Amino acid sequence: MNRTKLFVALLSLSTIRAAAAAPPTMRVDYYHTGTATEEHFSLDRVVIEPLPWPGNLSQAIDATDRGKYLFEVVDAAGGRTLFSRGFNSIYGEWETTAEAKTATRTFSESLRFPAIDRPARIVVKKRDAKNAFRDIWTLALDPADKFIDRSGTAASAGPLIKLHESGDPADKLDLLILGDGYTAAERGKFERDARRLAGVLLATSPFKERQRDINVWGLVPPSAVSGVTRPSQRIYKRTPLGATYDAFNTERYILTFENRAFRDIAANAPYEAVEILVNSVTYGGGGIFGLYGTVAADSVWAPYVFVHEFGHHIAGLADEYYTSDVAYLPAADRVEPWEPNVTALLDPAALKWKDLVAPGTSLPTPWPREEFERYTKDVQQRRRDIRAANRPEREMDVLMREEQARDTPLLNSGPYGGKVGAFEGANYEAHGYFRPQEDCIMFTRDQVPFCAVCRRAIDQILDLYTNQKGREGH
């Protein structure tokens, strides 16, 4: 049985009828090369994936204004935009690191969209210094091109696992959970890990209220070895997805730079969002808007990291913290961020979330930042010491529990606890950027929900990927 037939066999009769009418999925793989000051694009290959397009064709145009980049599929004859999506990329993050000032690097990336049936242009846009999108690469694409890969095959990944099925992929956000560093004997462990973490996500608002709008699938290609690469500890392992700690020389940051392998494995499932579970106990994860999220499945903090990184990946939420070590250099010029949950503007009339601010709320909004920063500075130094000495992971867990126990009441019991305002300190910087609430999943590991602004931002993306009839009954 080929993989398309296997996928169809897993779906209900109504889904089969919808899938039969859906166009194929087309993917453009390309190389993104450059430095901190220049970038170039080059075509790798065009592929027809083995499964039909899983998305909602009635909402092909992305009007959310999210992402550092935007790509459009434009009809060559009439100039009409057929499809668009905002996204971020590994290159887009790397170009803001110190390494990009002295080195040139190449990253593999992909664009996926409903297959075209007539010549079109793929137009990639990037935000300029004022955050306006500007064209940076155009690719002419003819669906009759004999060099398009139409083999309809995908890399072996084992049977597709149904983790949470709500209905037709065209009406739902399809989340694919991939496992990396799981041996064939650990397939059962992956399924338990995936079900546990999917359950955490679906119990978190607003995903809790939108469960009927979400499908969750699982794939775990068997790895020859258990675990993944961790260069800071001189651990190197060849795994199907190539996940690794120490991305951008940040010990807790997990990414895969093997885009081709990742895409060929993911092609076995319908998906718009991806979370990669790495088979490891060491704290870590990552999330890139429109690409994927990652998490160390066996870390005691995996439930938090899974949800936090999914916030980055699915909704383009910014990190609201500013005291942790990061790889990125501060921006030379401060412009209003495109991310929906941080701002550099304190004008009450222009504030992104002004409708959620109660009358009389001070802007900036007071919070106990001096006490928070004093304690957090000590925690960060202790974290560095634990990693430098390669001490047991349980010591890191104890430290983080201590931090959580102190921060949760500090940030949630004052006069503005749980209220929307503009709290200075966000986007990796202590001054000049503001977050909507004192505490949020995007700010700390505290036992708190997404703030009101983040919840709304996530809902907007869920609306983009789901059929409006799927919202009946909310």
Q: Model confidence at 383, in pLDDT bands (50, 70, 90)?
A: confident
Q: Are residues 39 and 146 in the same domain?
A: yes
- Residue 389, domain member (yes or no): no
Asked if the model's pLDDT at residue 7 lies above 80, the reply is: no
pTM for this model (two decimals) = 0.92
For residue 271, what pLDDT is reported? 98
C-alpha span between 59 and 471 (Å, rounded): 14
Helices and strands per DSSP (H, E), number in the chain:
9, 17
Asked if the model's pLDDT at residue 426 lies above 50, the reply is: yes
pLDDT digits (tens, 9 = 90+) for 267-289: 999 999 999 999 999 999 999 99
Q: Could you tell me which residues come within 8 angstroms of residue 63 by beta carbon, excluding any fewer than 6 positions away?
A: none
Q: Are residues 141 and 188 in the same domain?
A: no
- Residue 401, domain member (yes or no): no
Q: Are residues 126 and 84 in the same domain?
A: yes
Residues facing 72 on adjacent strands: 84, 123
Helix (H) or strand (E) holding 215: strand 214-219
Return the amino acid letter for 16: I
Residues belonging to the chain:
474
Mean pLDDT of 303-332: 85
Q: Model confidence at 15, in pLDDT bands (50, 70, 90)?
A: very low
Q: Are residues 167 and 309 in the same domain?
A: yes
Mean pLDDT of 54-83: 96
Q: Model confidence at 425, in pLDDT bands (50, 70, 90)?
A: very high
Asked if the model's pLDDT at residue 321 lies above 60, the reply is: yes
Does residue 277 contact residue 297 with C-beta atoms inside 8 Å? yes
Asked if the model's pLDDT at residue 17 lies above 50, the reply is: no
Q: Model confidence at 469, in pLDDT bands (50, 70, 90)?
A: very low
For residue 327, what pLDDT is reported? 52
Lowest mean pLDDT of 78-92, 292-306, 364-378, name the range.
364-378
Q: Are residues 210 and 306 in the same domain?
A: yes
Asked if the model's pLDDT at residue 290 lies above 80, the reply is: yes
Asked if the model's pLDDT at residue 449 lies above 70, the reply is: yes
Q: Are residues 17 and 133 in the same domain?
A: yes
Return the amino acid letter for 107: F
Asked if the model's pLDDT at residue 471 lies above 50, the reply is: no
For position 214, which CATH number holds?
A: 3.40.390.10
C-alpha span between 470 and 466 (Å, rounded): 7
Q: Model confidence at 3, in pLDDT bands (50, 70, 90)?
A: very low
Mean pLDDT of 135-149: 98
For residue 325, what pLDDT is reported? 59
Strands (DSSP E) contained in 58-190 are 69-75, 81-87, 105-114, 120-127, 133-141, 161-164, 173-180
Asked if the model's pLDDT at residue 349 lies above 70, the reply is: yes
* SS3 assignment, position 48: strand
Q: Which of 469, 436, 417 is nearest to 363 (CA)?
A: 436
Q: Model confidence at 335, in pLDDT bands (50, 70, 90)?
A: confident
- Residue 370, domain member (yes or no): no
- Residue 436, domain member (yes or no): no
For position 133, which CATH number holds?
A: 2.60.40.3250
% of the chain residues with pLDDT over 70 = 92
Q: Are residues 37 and 145 in the same domain?
A: yes
For residue 414, what pLDDT is reported? 86
Q: What share of the chain is helix, strand, coil (3-state, %, to 5)?
A: 30, 25, 45
For residue 326, what pLDDT is reported? 58
Of 119, 152, 185, the residue at which a domain comes to its end is 152
For residue 329, what pLDDT is reported? 54
- Residue 101, domain member (yes or no): yes
Compute CA distances 432 → 399, 404, 429, whole Å.
29, 26, 7
Asked if the model's pLDDT at residue 111 lies above 50, the reply is: yes
Q: Model confidence at 153, in pLDDT bands (50, 70, 90)?
A: confident
Q: Are residues 110 and 130 in the same domain?
A: yes
pLDDT digits (tens, 9 = 90+) for 292-312: 999 999 999 999 999 999 999
For residue 328, what pLDDT is reported? 52
Query: Count of domains in the chain?
Result: 2
- Residue 312, domain member (yes or no): yes
pLDDT averaged over every residue in the chain:
92
Sign of CA dihedral 463, 254, 106, 331: positive
Does residue 89 contact residue 288 with C-beta atoms inside 8 Å? yes
Residue 133, domain extent: 3-152
Of 99, 125, 152, the residue at which a domain comes to its end is 152
Q: Are residues 11 and 40 in the same domain?
A: yes
How many Å from the N-terminal Cα to the C-terminal Cα in the chain? Answer: 39
- Residue 459, domain member (yes or no): no
Q: Are residues 287 and 186 in the same domain?
A: yes
Mean pLDDT of 138-159: 94
Mean pLDDT of 110-120: 98
Q: Are residues 117 and 30 in the same domain?
A: yes
For residue 330, what pLDDT is reported? 63
Using a CB cutoff of 8 Å and minimum separation of 24, what contacts does 84-87 make?
Answer: 84/60, 85/113, 85/290, 86/62, 86/289, 86/290, 86/316, 87/289, 87/290, 87/291
Of 302, 319, 336, the residue at which a domain comes to its end is 319
Return the amino acid letter for 35: T
For residue 448, what pLDDT is reported? 96
- Residue 245, domain member (yes or no): yes
Q: Model confidence at 474, in pLDDT bands (50, 70, 90)?
A: very low
For residue 125, what pLDDT is reported? 98
Residue of higher predicted confidence among 326 and 47: 47
Q: Are residues 166 and 239 in the same domain?
A: yes
